[in-house]
Structure formats: C-alpha cells, structure tokens
Amino acid sequence: MTPLSAYLVVAALIFAIGLAGALTRRNAILVLIGIELMLNAANLNLIAFWRYGPHPELLSGMMFAIFSIAVAAAEAAVGLGLVISIYRHAKTTDLEQTNRMKG
C-alpha cells in the first residue's frame, strides 16, 4: 500500500503546477485551467486523508470532496462565461491587455 505522504507530495506537485499556470500564462482560459488543477489537488488531499483517517465510515472527507467537485463545476461555468463576455467586449482574452473592468 502506498504511504499517505506519497499522495500528499503528488497533490502538492499538481497544486504547484496549477499555481504556476495561473500565475504565468497570459490567456484567461489557461488561468482557469490552472485554478481547476489546484482545486483537483485539494480534492486529492481530502480523499487521501479520508482514506487514511481514523473513521472513514463517517464519510466526512469524501462528502467534502464531492461538494468541492460540485462547487468547482459551478465556478468553471461562471468563469468561462465571464471570459466569453470579456472577449466580446475587448476582442481578446490576453490578461495583459484587459486591464480595466469598465466597458
């Protein structure tokens, strides 16, 4: 059986990759993809702690992960809607050119 720390290190690595993507890419859609990767890494941590925790039959970590997946889906829908709306206004999704919120 794989130790818990291996899962935690993989989750930390994916979180860092997502953070790097969100901080360094110019395209707004890629920034959203980076945020999704970070959320996914957090879910992996929740599931891993649920599996190795003292009372897995209480399902706390599992429920947390399921609700987190649902909230992430809502976030992705609204975020991509915002990107499409910004593209319609500014004709670009480049974050270095979209530097004002007024239309």
Partner 1 sequence: MGFIFYLISAFAVGGALAAVLLKNLVHAALAVTIAFLGMALMFLCLDAQFAGFAQILVYVGAVAILVVFAILLTKGSEVPIEGVFSKSWFAGLAIAAGVFALLAWAVLRSAGSLPDAAAAPEVTVKDIGNALMSRYVLPLEIVAVLLTAALLGAVIIAMHEKEGAKQG
| DSSP-assigned letter for residue 95 | T
Strand partners, 27: 94
SS3 27: strand
Which residues, in sequence order, are CB contacts of 47 under 8 Å at separation 6+?
61, 62, 65
Q: Site residues for partner 1, window 61-90 (CB under 8 A)?
A: 62-63, 65-67, 69-78, 80-85, 87-88
Q: Which is nearer to partner 1, 23 or 100 (CB)?
A: 23
Kindly state the smallest distance separating residue 102's Cβ from partner 1, in Å: 15
Q: Site residues for partner 1, window 25-44 (CB under 8 A)?
A: 25-27, 29-30, 32-34, 36-37, 40, 43-44
